[in-house]
Amino acid sequence: MTLLAVFDELEQVLRQEDNLASVALDLAQAASMPYYNGLMFRVFDAHVPHAFMSGGRYDHLFERFGAPELTAVGWAIDIAAVYQAIHDQLTFEKGD
């Protein structure tokens, strides 16, 4: 399955009202990564055992590598966890 197909499935699942109710945004993330210097966040879902998305602000990261100062915000998605949750939900709905 391609990454684009995974995102398409994720969009379809999240568009269902019942699934959006299980998604939570946590803005109280403590700075566990030394390169973050501002707001950090995590996104949780009742169907995934850990945060499946996280990110934050890291204004001085590029300077550590000799690049000019640059304001930045980034995030990452645990695609494997999202795919597994979608697969499990679809399997449950089919009754397999």
28-66: per-residue pLDDT in tens?
766 566 777 777 888 888 878 888 888 888 888 888 889
| 63 within some domain | yes
User: Is 55 inside any structural domain?
Assistant: yes
Amino acid at 96: D
Model pTM above 0.95 = no
Q: How far apart are CA 90 and CA 76, in angstroms?
A: 24
Spatial neighbors of 50 by CB under 8 A, at least 6 apart, are 44, 78, 81
pLDDT at 3: 47
Residue 14 lies in a domain: no
Burial letters 21-30, b for 16+ CB under 10 A, else e: eeeeeeeebe
Instruction: Give the pLDDT of residue 19.
Output: 58
Q: What are phi and psi of 12, to 5 degrees?
A: -60, -45
If you average pLDDT over every residue of the chain, what do you get? 76
How far does CA 46 lie from the centroid of its chain? 13
Identify the band that residue 1 occupies on the pLDDT scale cut at 50, 70 and 90.
low
In this structure, is residue 28 part of a structural domain?
Answer: yes
Whole domain around residue 40: which residue ranges? 3-9+23-90
Domain count, the chain: 1
